[in-house]
Structures are given as structure tokens and as C-alpha cells.
């Protein structure tokens, strides 16, 4: 059984609207189920939240968007194993990933609309080789 490393980081939009993700890595095994947490603060009503996945040197890929009105829009390739739903009481939008695969190893982040426009924080990820040495650092 191989372990899967999922990195999460938080992004913060300008103004009163922001999302908060716990820092730290999530380590799980293939076929496990994990839930990535994200809470939000917004001055508006019925916000739309987005989850993205970034692996390697690739651009972030849209996974799912959802709102407090239960509108869910999931990218086709993620429909079977990825799900998210806004909990307006706890102001959270957890991402559940079922039947983990090695290809799920990536950086995941959530965002409020507008997504990362105007954000000055840097996305980063260390890629590790099998003997636990850093292959390269992506900024």
C-alpha cells in the first residue's frame, strides 16, 4: 500500500471576504477517503466557493464549485470521487475525496468568488522522491 500526500494551503481574497484552510499536509493511503477542510467569511449572502487542484508544474485545475443555495458544479473527470457542499451554519465547504489514487497527490485550495484575482500569496509545493529527497521546489 502506497501513501498519498495531499497538500493544502489557504488563499485570502481582499476585503472582508476570505477562506481559511488548515495548514499542514494530509497523508493517506490508496483507496482511503479524506476530507479537506475550508471555512469562509463573507459579507455577502449565498457565496459561491470553488475547489482547485494543482499538481506538478501545471496550472490549477477546477474541481467543483458550490453555493449556499445547494448549486453544485463538478468538473466531469472528478464527478465520481470528489464532492463538496456548503454548510452555511458552520461556514465551511469541505472537499471529500473517495477511493484515493496516487494521481490525487497535489496541492488543493478553496476560494471565494472572485477566485485568486489580486492575490499576492505564492502557491508552493515540494515534490519528493521515493528516498525522501526534494526533487524540486515549485513557486
Q: Are 27 and 4 in contact (CB under 8 A)?
A: yes
Q: Are 93 and 87 in contact (CB under 8 A)?
A: yes
* Strand ordering across the sheet containing 95-97: 34-36, 95-97, 82-84
Q: Are 28 and 34 in contact (CB under 8 A)?
A: yes
Q: What is the pLDDT of residue 134?
A: 38
Separation CA 132–CA 130 (nearest Å):
5
Q: What is the pLDDT of residue 1?
A: 60
Separation CA 43–CA 87 (nearest Å):
16
> Widest CA span of the chain, in angstroms?
48
Name the grid cell of 44. Answer: 455577502
The tens digit of pLDDT for each residue in 15-45 reads 568 888 888 888 899 999 999 999 998 877 7
Separation CA 132–CA 93 (nearest Å):
32
Domain 18-112, CATH number (from 2.60.40.10, 1.20.120.1200, 3.30.360.10, 3.40.50.2300): 2.60.40.10
Low-confidence ranges of the chain (pLDDT < 70): 1-16, 113-139
Amino acid at each position: 500500500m502506497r501513501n498519498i500526500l495531499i497538500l493544502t494551503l489557504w488563499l485570502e481574497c481582499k476585503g472582508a471576504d476570505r477562506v481559511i484552510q488548515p495548514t499542514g499536509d494530509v497523508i493517506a493511503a490508496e483507496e482511503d477517503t479524506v476530507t479537506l477542510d475550508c471555512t469562509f467569511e463573507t459579507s455577502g449572502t449565498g457565496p459561491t466557493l470553488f475547489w482547485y487542484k494543482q499538481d506538478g508544474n501545471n496550472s490549477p485545475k477546477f474541481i467543483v464549485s458550490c453555493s449556499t443555495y445547494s448549486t453544485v458544479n463538478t468538473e466531469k473527470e472528478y464527478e465520481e470521487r470528489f464532492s463538496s457542499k456548503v454548510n452555511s451554519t458552520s461556514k465551511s465547504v469541505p472537499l471529500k475525496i473517495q477511493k484515493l489514487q496516487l494521481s490525487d497527490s497535489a496541492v488543493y485550495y478553496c476560494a471565494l468568488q472572485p477566485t485568486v484575482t489580486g492575490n499576492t500569496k505564492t502557491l508552493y509545493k515540494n515534490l519528493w522522491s521515493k528516498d525522501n529527497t526534494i526533487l524540486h521546489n515549485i513557486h
